[in-house]
Amino acid sequence: NYDKFVVEGDVKTQAEEAYTSHNTTRLDVAGTVEKIKTAEYVQLALEGREHEAVQ
């Protein structure tokens, strides 16, 4: 009895569209640096407190 395991109708996925380099934001070097700086462990390292990073 497959009815318990089969979904009828339209199935929605998390991504309506496939991820490609054409439908995302491309970062330049400065943008990449700013994005990396948002990571907590990078912020701690820049402050000299990398030993406080949560593991």
Per-residue pLDDT, 32: 95
Q: Domain spans of the chain?
A: 27-55
Categorize the per-residue pLDDT at 28 as very low, low, confident or very high, splitting at 50, 70 and 90.
very high
Q: What is the tens place of the pLDDT at every residue in 4-25?
A: 666 666 666 666 677 788 778 8
Is 1 exposed, middle or buried (CB count within 10 Å of its CB: 0-12, 13-18, 19+)? Answer: exposed
Q: What are phi and psi for residue 50, nearest 5 degrees?
A: -60, -25
